[in-house]
Structure 1
Amino acid sequence: MMRAVALALAALVGLGPGLARAETPCRQALALGMDVSASVDAAEYRLQRDGLAHALLDPAVVAAFTALPDAPVTLMIFEWSGYRSQTVLLPWTPIRSRDDLRAAASVLAGPSGPRNENATAIGGAALFAARAFGQVGDCWRKTLDLSGDGKNNDGPTPGMLAQDPRLDGITINGLVIGAGSGTDATRRNAHIGEMVAYFQRHVIRGPGAFTEVALGFEGFEMAMRRKLLREIRVLQFSELASGPR
C-alpha cells in the first residue's frame, strides 16, 4: 500500500526529464492554535502545552507526519486569547522526520507568552491563521486546529466569518476542552454538550471538518493525539490525484 502511494506521489510531483523541479510540494499546512485566555489557569496552561508536546511525539503521530517526506506537512503552532493577542511559538516548519517533531515539541517547554485576561477571540484566531496561511506555498490542504474551552466574547464571532473570503480553502477543526476533573459529571457533560454544539454550529468549517473533545485539560493529550491522526492521515490515491491542481 505504501509503495503504491509513493509511486502515485512520484508520478504527480515529478515534472519529467528536462524540467526543473519546483519547490518541494507541501501536502498539508497545519496550524495549531491553543486558547490561553483567562479561563485557562497556570496548571491548565501547562497541561495544554505538555499535552501537545507529548502528542506530537506519539509513535503513531510521528509515523503519520513522516509518511511522505517528499511532500511534508508544514506545521505552525500559536497561542491566542483576545482579538489582537496571538503569539507564534513555532513558525511554519516542514516536518520530515522525528527530529523535526522533537524540535517542534521542544518549543512548548519555553516560557509562557502574553495573555489577555478577559477575552476569548475565536474569530480573531481564525483571521490570524488565515493571514499566516498566506506565508506558505500552494499546499494541497490548509487546516486550522483550534482548541478552546469557551465561547467567543471579543471581536468578530466565528459565525460572522462564515462567508469571509479570507478563510476560503481553509478547513477549521475544533478541540473542545470540557470542565476539569473537579467538576461533577452532570455539570461537565452539560458544558461539553453546549461547547460541542457551539463549535459544530459556528466554528468548524470546510470538507471533513470535525470536533474532538477533551475531558478537561487532563485529557488534552489523548484528544490532541486522536485529532492529529485524523488530520494528517496519509492521502489516498484519489486525493493525491486531485491535490496539486
Structure 2
Amino acid sequence: MLRAIVSTFLLSLAWTSVARSQDFPPVVDVELVLAVDVSWSMDIDEQRLQREGYVNAIRDPEVIRAIRRGDWGRIAVTYVEWAGVGLQRTVVPWSIIESQRDADLFAKALGEASIGRMRRTSISSALLMSAALFDNGIDGFRKVIDVSGDGPNNMGPMVTEARDRVIRQGITINGLPIMVKQRIRGDFFQIENLDEYYRGCVIGGMGSFMITIESREQFGQAIRRKLILEIAGAQPTVQKAQIEVPQSVAVDCMVGEKQWRRWRRFDQW
C-alpha cells in the first residue's frame, strides 16, 4: 500500500514537471470566477467592504492552507465586476495561486484597482460572461462561478435560462446574496427574500451553495468562509442565515423584471 502511494506521488510530481517543461496547460484544483455586483444599488461603503473582504480573504493563511491541501495544491482565480447587460469588466485577470506570495500579488492588484459603479442588474449576463472566461488555457478539475449581488435580475436573458445553460457546461454557481438593506430600510428594487431568490433561481450545479450577508460586519467573515469552502470543494453544513444549500422553493424568478416594469410605468406618470 505504501509503495503504491509513493509511486502515485512520484508520478504526480513527474507529470507536473513534464507539463511545465512542455508548456501544457497548467492543472489546478479549481478555476474560480469571483463575479462581484457593482450596480448603483450597492452603496459605495458596501462596495468597499466587499472589495476589502476579497482582498483580505484571498491572502488569509486559512485560505492558503485550503489551497495547499488540494490534489495539485494550486487554484486559478479571476475577479470580475458586473452590473447591467454589457457592463462587465475584468479587474484582475486569471492568476495561478499556489503560495502566499501568489496570493499577496493577487490581493495587491485587486486592492489597487478602482471600484466600478454601473447601472442596472443583469445576473444572467454576468453568469454567461463568467462562463465564457473558462476558455482560458487552464485545466481545472472544477469550475466555479462565485456571484454576489444585492438584488434580483432585472434585464437581459431570464436568469434561470442563463443558470441552466452554465450548469450544462459542468460549471457550479455559488451565491453571495447581500441582504444588508433588506434588514435596514426598504428600497423599490430590493426584495425581502433575496436568499430564496438566489437559492431557487441563481445557484446550481454540483455541490452548489450560498452564504448570506445580513450586516456590514459579516462581509469579511462570509467571503473568507465561502472561499475556503469553494477551494476545498466541500458541501457545507446548513446553518440558518449563513449557509444555504439548493432546495425546491416557490419563488418568482421574474420578480426583478416585474419590479423594473412597474417602476418604468410609475416614472412616466
Larger relative contact order (Cα-Cα within 8 Å, sequence gap ≥ 6): 1
Q: Based on CA coordinates, which of the two structures has the bigger radius of gyration?
A: 2
SS in 1 for 2:77: strand
Deviation larger for 21-30 or 151-160: 21-30
TM-score by length of 1: 0.80
Deviation larger for 196-205 or 175-184: 175-184
Match of 1:100 in 2: 102
SS in 2 for 1:224: helix
How far has the Cα of 1:233 moved from its partner?
Answer: 1.1
- Alpha-carbon distance in 2 for matches of 1:214, 1:5: 42
SS in 2 for 1:49: helix
Q: Which consecutive residues of structure 2, in runs of 5 or more, have no partner in the other structure?
A: 235-269
SS in 2 for 1:105: helix
Q: Deviations over 1:42-90 (max 9, x none)?
A: 1111111011111112221121123358452011111111111111111
Q: Is residue 25 of structure 1 aligned with residue 7 of structure 2?
A: no
Match of 2:180 in 1: 179
Deviation larger for 87-96 or 20-29: 20-29
The number of aligned residues is 227
How far has the Cα of 1:36 moved from its partner?
Answer: 0.4
Q: Is residue 159 of structure 1 aligned with residue 160 of structure 2?
A: yes
SS in 1 for 2:57: helix
Identity of aligned residues (%): 33
Match of 1:88 in 2: 90
Match of 1:205 in 2: 204
Match of 1:135 in 2: 136
Contact 1:172 1:204 survives alignment (8 Å): yes
SS in 2 for 1:232: helix
- Alpha-carbon distance in 1 for matches of 2:112, 2:71: 27
Q: Deviations over 1:184-212 (max 9, x none)?
A: 7xx8xxx7861111011111111110011
* Residue 54 to residue 147, structure 1, CA distance change in 2 (3 Å): same
- Alpha-carbon distance in 2 for matches of 1:210, 1:101: 24
Contact 2:25 2:139 survives alignment (8 Å): no
Contact 2:163 2:203 survives alignment (8 Å): no
The partner residue of 1:46 within 42, 48, 55 is: 48
How far has the Cα of 1:168 moved from its partner?
Answer: 1.1
Q: Is residue 124 of structure 1 aligned with residue 88 of structure 2?
A: no
SS in 1 for 2:232: coil
How far has the Cα of 1:111 moved from its partner?
Answer: 4.2
- Alpha-carbon distance in 1 for matches of 2:141, 2:10: 15
